[in-house]
Structure 1
């Protein structure tokens, strides 16, 4: 039996680029490609990539069961909610039913985020944390985040692994980081993280930093992120048993850069366009955090979570398990910051 695949989040930055590159990825044979959509326009858009649109509410268990079991879907790429686990559990139960009926291995990829492996979520930052660390699941289970929302996202990773294991579903925790570059899909062409830096600087009239020291964060070009999604899919479709469950964390990152270097590079690009007065980068004080909290519509304590922090999470599994080799080195995000800022300004909704 061939795998039938469902991709969610196809109108987004990551999911859209994944769909756009699907047809030229030379994947092993599979049955059908489905894409979850919310509107008629999205339905028409996904068809151009050879995907059959499905429209249902992923938080309704009966709807998920009907879609997944009814279409004998065996692989779900979940790209729409890193915070909560309700929908993923519905998909896991539905996939388990498909496995029961067909005897075929079933797979769920949950898209998490590097923040879940950072100081914001209580992850260790005093040492390198490899995505191949055999104790990573236990480390995540013991993390104590400073914010309820971050704790929920940490919990979601564990729930996905535990529920999938309980139901005989192979789970993968896919971790994007600071992703940059132009999205290639039909929907959102810009990132989240780099956009936040531009929004903050534009609203304040200058660039600010949010950590007293000089922390680093993993980065990845959107094309390299997509290649890892596809490399993992290739292994799944070929039944080559990539690591899963407690050994199924996959960070898509070519390496790390210092936030300070990223702020400075983007400040230079914004200064050149007269968006901010100069390219100096100042440490944000309490008043600045209050103002930015209103800009982003979040509590003041969450502003540094959006715009800074320390993450020592380091990619290893992609190369070892999938043969993934990023096209762009980490410094590329600094070298192309001018183009990134231009792209963001063209697409930013004021």
Structure 2
């Protein structure tokens, strides 16, 4: 008997890659699942319908009745939410609907939420010092929930899931790099903006400080989701609910090191004039990266010290892309931008209307 999984944001970078990579996974448990992909637009429907063995639906996630109907009609047991880490109203109806599904069938239901690492940055109000996934993250987030919307979303989801009897997990991706595998959007937001900005300016720029940013390749991130779902499907005991925070981090990337590798790769293609890297002001960065000044530091120049034990807590998950491998193949980031242009990102679109 197959298990039905709903992936929201399946037209996006992470969601689309999850759908595509689940379909090609070698995990035996994932051979026996039915994926329903939820998207927003007709264009995304057309793109996702090119995938075999995937049901594609359009779904407004803030419409509680529509969400409940979709969960019950498609007999969804597991939801992987990748749409919004900021707005809890796009997630709570999914949790409530899974609660109804459990009440209807008597079978367990599971909610896997995609959060954001910025919830654990000092710059957003998280306590100073090292943060570990062995810490009481939920309790701290609950105390600080009103100071940052992503924390409030994480807490609200966990509380709601407990209330309606749904088992919940919070996956916390770091900076995600690499080309995605989904059929609609294959570009992340951050790194391609650096590359595109440099190409447009014919010059590399950077912030005055060298920020060290936790990073993960997209194929290692989708592997994390796959291992997590495998643990669910094979009834293995793993941390969940208040203890169910899983950091998606493969390595820590120095921005200075990244730029030092990227500049000569761009110059080798004659996309920039020279390999010298200029320092930009906040205003210049905003213009070149094409995001509002208020979002520049938050999105592109923030970091946090995270001690994670994801490989121990999810046995079988082993990141394939290390820092050395990524930097050795940094030219791939340029190829992705040259071939694909700019990310089809709802986040970028919303920022530009600020």
Q: TM-score normalised by the shorter chain: which range applies?
A: 0.7 to 0.9
Name 2:349's counterpart in structure 1.
none
**Structure-to-structure mapping, 1:112-131, within 5 angstroms:** 112-124=115-127, 126-127=129-130, 129-130=131-132
Q: Which residue of 2 aligns with 1:272?
A: 268
- 2:318 aligns to what SS in structure 1? coil
Mapped contact 2:206–2:280 kept (Cα < 8 A): yes
Aligned residue number for residue 204 of structure 2: 207
1:40-55 superposed matches below 5 A: 40=42, 42-47=44-49, 48-55=51-58
Inter-partner Cα distance in structure 1 for 2:207 and 2:122: 13
Counterpart pick for 1:260 among 256, 259, 273: 256
Listed one character per residue, the Cα deviations across residues 304-345 of structure 1 (whole Å, up to 9, x for unaligned) are 222222221243134323421111212322211112122122
Distance 1:182 1:93, change over 3 A: same
What residue in structure 2 maps to residue 140 of structure 1? Answer: 141
Does the 8 Å CA contact 1:200/1:292 hold for their aligned counterparts?
A: no
Pairwise mapping of residues 268-347 of structure 1 onto structure 2 (< 5 A)? 268-285=264-281, 289-296=282-289, 298-347=291-340
Cα distance in 2 between the residues matched to 1:31 and 1:270: 42
Deviations 1:30-77 (A, max 9, x none): 553211133455445434231112222111111101111222211100
| Matched-pair contact (CA < 8 Å) for 2:214–2:303 | no
Which region of structure 1 is more displaced relative to structure 2, 174-183 or 136-145?
A: 136-145
8 Å CA contact 1:64–1:90 kept in 2: the answer is yes
Structure-2 change in CA distance of 1:349 and 1:24 (3 Å): closer
TM-aligned CA distance change 1:295 to 1:258, over 3 Å: closer
Runs of 4+ in 1 over 6 A off after TM superposition: none
TM-score by length of structure 2 reads 0.87
Over 3 Å counting, the alpha-carbon distance change for 1:307 and 1:202 in structure 2 is farther
CA distance, structure 2, for counterparts of residue 31 and residue 263 of structure 1: 42
SS at match of 1:4: strand
SS of residue in 1 equivalent to 2:80: strand
User: For 1:283 and 1:291, how far apart are their aligned partners in 2?
Assistant: 9
Counterparts of 1:1-350 in structure 2, within 5 Å, are 3-25=3-25, 26-28=27-29, 30=32, 32-40=34-42, 42-47=44-49, 48-124=51-127, 126-127=129-130, 129-130=131-132, 132-143=133-144, 151-212=148-209, 214-285=210-281, 289-296=282-289, 298-349=291-342
What is the Cα deviation at residue 142 of structure 1? 4.2
Contact 1:117 1:311 in 2 (8 A): yes
Q: Note closer, same or farther for the CA distance 1:295–1:280 as it changes in structure 2 (3 Å cut).
A: closer
Q: How many residues align?
A: 340
The change in CA–CA distance for 1:116 and 1:95 in structure 2 (over 3 A counts) is: same
Q: Contact (CA 8 Å) 1:205, 1:277: kept in 2 or not?
A: yes
Contact between 2:3 and 2:33, CA under 8 Å: does it hold in 1? yes
Write the distance in 2 (CA, Å) between the matches of 1:35 and 1:91. 14
In structure 1, the gaps of 5 or more residues are none
